[in-house]
Amino acid sequence: MDRFRLFNRPAWRLIALLLIAFGLRVYHLDAQSLWNDEGLALYRARLTLSENLSNVIVVPPNVPTRDTNPPLYFIELSALRMAAGESEYALRFVSVMAGVLLVALLYVTGKRLYSARVGLIAAGLGTLSPFLVWYSQEARPYTQIAALSLASVYLLLRALRFPRGADEGPASATWRSWLIWAAWGAVTLAMLASHFNTFLLLPLEGLILAIAMIRLRRREALIVMGGLLLLAAPLIVYAVSRAQTTLDAVFRFRPLDSIAQESLSAFVIGAPHEIFQPLWAVLPGLMLLTVGVVGGLLSKAWRQSAWLMLAYLLVPLAAFYAAMFVTPIYIGPRHIIFLLPPIYLLMAAGVTLIWNRWRVIAWGVIALQVGLMGWWLTVQFTDPSYVKQDVRSAACEIAADARRDDIVVLNDAVGSFVFDYYYQRCGGEAPWTSIPVYPSLDFDEALSQFQATTEAANRVWYVTQPARAAFDVRGMDEWARGHLLRLGHQKFTAMWLGSAYQLYTAHFPILDMLPQSAQPRALTWPSAGLQLAGVEPIVISPARDQAQVNLYWQLDQPAQRNFNFTLRLVDSTGAEWGLWRGTAFDNWSAKKWPVGKYVGQSVNMILPNGLPAGEYALLVSIVGGQTNEVMPSAVGLTEVEITKTKVEP
């Protein structure tokens, strides 16, 4: 009767694990920016049911393409979006719940095949798994794949009443048997409709069914197989079209040993920058896995379960590798996440086998494994280099500074979905476009479009990363640096695809006279023939975290060197509130400035601590660009006040 007692000790432990699993998966759920692939999920979440079933993604400007993923996950995402909106938190919640469900499935599968202890340990590994936490916080179907694949195997074992004695109650309860078969069919169809790679689990389930029919002569197994094939026919058509689709260049053939090593290290500890975790970190998990396999095969009670787990691990892997010779379908371990459950179940069996003989050693090994998982969870949550792709910062920074007569140029049209999501949310007003126009990779055509764009717009925000695969974005940027004035640039830390922009203008800021808005100044640096002729009033942002400064310089003789400027914003006590250092322009040396003309320089100064009410002075100092020699002004000071501003309460 223990299985019906909700409040027995294993049940309480499982509930605790599920709560911990949920907490880890929602912790900082919206901290990471959406990245390119999540942008595609967002696009499909905005589609109707019929549009999702068509599997078509329209890439700007208006190019229909066929997605390489089936529709079920995105239909779920669309329903959630209608109910809860499209915040990062809401968009990732389907993955969160699938990740928690997987923990429960690890328990019931481990309990069925081995024991309640094995089930709890496997659930514990799933709870703390950095790899599962990582993908539970991503709006992609990977944790759903893992959960549905394990649910499919579990229900198949229940339908076949494997292993013998695992079920209580009369075997003759036909209605109950058919109900389980129906559940297995529904879950398997859902699995196949979530990701095409899950088709590679079918050889395993076909092998299990074939053995069952040979040994048990199960007529219902044959009937269910036929019915499932009939229902799966539309998905098979999807799968064939997937195999015929030209994939991105990132999909490449990988040797089996490399795939196995990368995936095992990611599943056991977590995915590092270096692809492979160090051997010492993987060793405890590898030892538990080995004990689970060897010890299980030597154990009379667990032999069948051990063989099943080995087949669960090796048969889909062999099918996956065979498919690689037809179409490369592997970028990283997420594409074979359906192989993760047997690894955790075998590791849990290994812990239990050691526990039965040497409890002290078992405690030590599991403590080490849990410690390693906890360490890597900390890395994932706190290390700034583990940012997937910071589109949010790039888009919002551009949105804050871009003017209506500017234009934003995206190099990667596919990345426009997530860029536009943040750009609109942050109030961007300048229009954006994609160059090259998807799907063209013609550099000369793209360069001609880029030239026309720079001439028509006041400034061009060129988003160089993420970059369009196989397009010469570096060549485009090199042309821009040689022909345009670069006003600024920014690159954002990212683990995968980068985020970066360059700010250019074809209109060099050379003026015949000062703008009426500028306050005249006559501050000179005689040794350089340089004069600060004017400055506009400082503009403080509403959030008081940025200060916009426009300066106007003039040369009375050709410059012999470039200059480095330092601007400081200080209060009445001399305390510094803002700092900017650099040359006036990245790619336009003062040696090329025209003599006698006014050269406008625009500076965006970050105020890291916010700016309280009060009076502030802007100070400037100049050093030689090559010698770093401090240049005194005409009044003998190396740092000169050029304007003041007052911030009201």
Tens-place pLDDT, residues 356-398: 889 888 899 999 999 999 999 999 999 988 999 999 999 999 9
pLDDT of residue 521: 93
Q: Is the pLDDT of residue 486 over 80?
A: yes
Tell me: the pLDDT tens digits for 433-453? 999 999 999 999 999 999 999
Beta bridge partners of 616: 571, 645
Instruction: Calculate mean pLDDT across residues 467-478.
Output: 89
CA-wise closest residue to 492 among 427, 424, 398, 607: 398
pLDDT class for 513, splitting at 50, 70, 90? Answer: very high
Sort 110 into a burial class: Cβ within 10 Å, 0-12 / 13-18 / 19+: buried
Q: Give this prediction's pTM.
A: 0.87
Contact 292, 313 (CB under 8 A): no
Write down the residue that tokens 């005689």 correspond to: 526
Q: What is the rounded CA–CA span in Å between residue 428 and residue 379? A: 33
H or E element that contains 409: strand 407-410
Instruction: Calculate mean pLDDT across residues 525-548.
Output: 92
Residue 514: Cβ within 10 Å count:
18
CA-wise closest residue to 134 among 345, 376, 493: 376
Residue 152: Cβ within 10 Å count:
26
Considering 139-153, 258-272, 351-365, 578-592, the range whose residues carry the highest mean pLDDT is 139-153
pLDDT of residue 161: 85
Q: What is the rounded CA–CA span in Å between residue 248 and residue 630? A: 52
Considering 200-209, 336-345, 601-610, the range whose residues carry the highest mean pLDDT is 336-345
415: tokens are 């990345």
CA-wise closest residue to 647 among 616, 622, 609, 617: 616
389: tokens are 């792709």
Q: What is the rounded CA–CA span in Å between residue 199 and residue 206? A: 11
pLDDT class for 461, splitting at 50, 70, 90? Answer: very high
pLDDT of residue 4: 42
pLDDT class for 218, splitting at 50, 70, 90? Answer: low
Q: What is the rounded CA–CA span in Å between residue 567 and residue 583? A: 11
Please give the residue that has the higher pLDDT: either 514 or 217: 514
The rounded mean pLDDT for the chain is 89
Supply the DSSP string of 200-253, one letter for each residue: GGHHHHHHHHHHHHHHH--HHHHHHHHHHHHHHHHHHHHHHHHHHSPPPTT---
578: tokens are 């803002």
Write down the residue that tokens 């990667």 correspond to: 412
Question: Which residues, 6 or more positions from 575, have their beta carbon under 8 angstroms from its beta carbon?
Answer: none
CA-wise closest residue to 102 among 23, 37, 17: 17
Q: Is the pLDDT of residue 2 over 80?
A: no
